[in-house]
Structure 1
Amino acid sequence: MQSAPLSPQAARSHQSPLPVILDCDPGHDDAIALIMALANPQLEVLAVTTSAGNQTPDKTLRNALRILTLLGRTEVPVAAGAPKPLIRELIIADNVHGETGLDGPDLPEPGFEPVPLKAWELMAQQIRASEQPVTLVPTGPLTNIATFLLAYPELKSKVERIVLMGGAAGVGNWTPAAEFNIFVDPQAADIVFRSGIAITMCGLDVTHEAQIMEADVARMRAIDNPVAQCVADLLEFFVIYHKDPKWGFDGAPLHDPCTIAWLLQPEMFRGIDCHVAIETRSELTLGMTVVDRFGLTGKPANAHVLLGVDRQRFVDLLADSLRVW
């Protein structure tokens, strides 16, 4: 069992492609993260699993299948996960992502079927078969990851790292204290952060710096292929919610693609190793990621917490990824 996170440099020391499993709840930014991952040969996407979160489980599964159909990557196995959090009732973010979960672009219908396995069963199958340790990349609630860890403790040593989008060292975006993904299933997040597996946490502190501006959307629109046009459509819809003055954004934060960008170019990010605990009981702060930046608890670091990013490099990486298609 790993007791401390690897350095960012160590996470990308592989000579061969890094095997990853993407666990997502598409969602505009999940879809863009999936597109980025499959565009870059440094990553080998072993499977895609889906969770409920941004929309209901039937819609997030369908959206993953639609994106992979658009990309012509129907060989990637896809499995649906838990229909609701471990304990709580499901909360969705349809006010952000629309009725379908991917409102905006005209996406194809799914061109293939999911495999007849649950998300955690597919994870276990792929991790067992992999010659290298596998990196898990959850960009939604952590229900599927927690279920996998509980069901297959013998495979924990074959998970190299969990690179997740969730949490914050500062304020939340769904409640004053909690970020959406962690708030949806705080009990699952607690299991993940207690697992002993190396974690990279892409929380709101970094994702709010990874904003896409109107000029960036125009840059994506100018890339002449169907995938880039889809991403431009996704971004134009996604910007609408984030124009609310209460957020103070100049553009729209691309939360989930930060996970893929860190795997590809960790040097564009800055962060710290520290202990992160999950609040699972408080009425006021349920789902809060309690980030011990100053070592006040004396507990060992269990996560590499990202706090900032070179925004221009991030946008450049997205544009380069879209030119592949």
Structure 2
Amino acid sequence: MSSELHHRPAVPAEIHAAWAARHGAEAAERLAAAENFADAIKASTVPPNTTDTYRKGWQVWERFCTTQDLPLTEGSRGALVAFVAWMLDRGRKTPGPGGVLGYAPASAASHLTAVVVGLRERGHPVSKDAQSEARSRLEAIATRLAKQGERRGRGKAPAADLDNLHRIAAACDDTPTGRRDLALVLTGFHFASRASEVSGLLLADVTVHPRGIKVAVVSGKTRRSVRTVAIPYNSDEPPICAARAWERWLQVYGTSATSRPAFPRIDRWGNIGGAMAPDSVTTAVARVAQRSGVPIRWTGHSLRSGLATEGRKNGKDPLTIAKQGGWAPNSKAMLGYMQLADEWDDNAAAGLRRLGG
């Protein structure tokens, strides 16, 4: 075991004492050091956006406990249910859309997960019954709000579609920024990217092949989303061919330093900088879509939902779509995107007619 483990670990005193009673003081020290090592490994492998989400959720919990004068390390059934009700009623620090102080149910659910994780990591695990009760109350309150006509949150990102990709292709000029923008949008669409995945790409991660390009997604959010994706040349729709857009971008960007970001920042004077942050990718997609006359505001996630939707419209197998986008085969998120394509065509009320007679 590494010498990094040989320091006094910060584990709960009662656990350390129990280990010492069973195995002796020296073994207890080494077991506790291994716990620290495991925590360090976990910290180095959890995606930054997940860590940020947990941090923000814990801050909301801290505000709740302070305002309600409750202990920070007690995730009892009552405390968690009260937390859920508080979040949906007045948990935001500043009013959201429409002046509402309550969180959207999806945000409240995310914060609840962060608190459960945070309490466990701090040595205060939450019982399954307490978690289940809190989630049930959250769902019940959310249903009541919906019945009252309240709509909170941004909802699903509008899906990118082929018609509007053509609009973007026609609007992107031949400047370095125009070529980068088109390559970013088309490449991101064709591997169902998250903004963080586009942000994390290096030149070395995108390689040109005789039949198209391959994208090695190494900054995926989950085990399945770390993947290598093939994007073929599109001879049927050349203006929205991601492989050709990538090649045109390389003509102005160059290929010598493969450690450079695949999609760097470019300022108004055409100076090329470092990697775009995920928020910058989202902003770029929205800006390009708006400039091109796309009627609905796209976000970075529109590229991800778009491939699932358009793939379904074109009759692609769900397993093929899942592999391309890094979804689990029966992912609820992916199936939800595909339902956008099915709601009119694969519809129980569509084309009904009398039989016989």
TM superposition score normalised by structure 1: 0.26
User: Which structure is higher in strand share?
Assistant: 1
User: Which structure is higher in helix share?
Assistant: 2
TM superposition score normalised by structure 2: 0.24
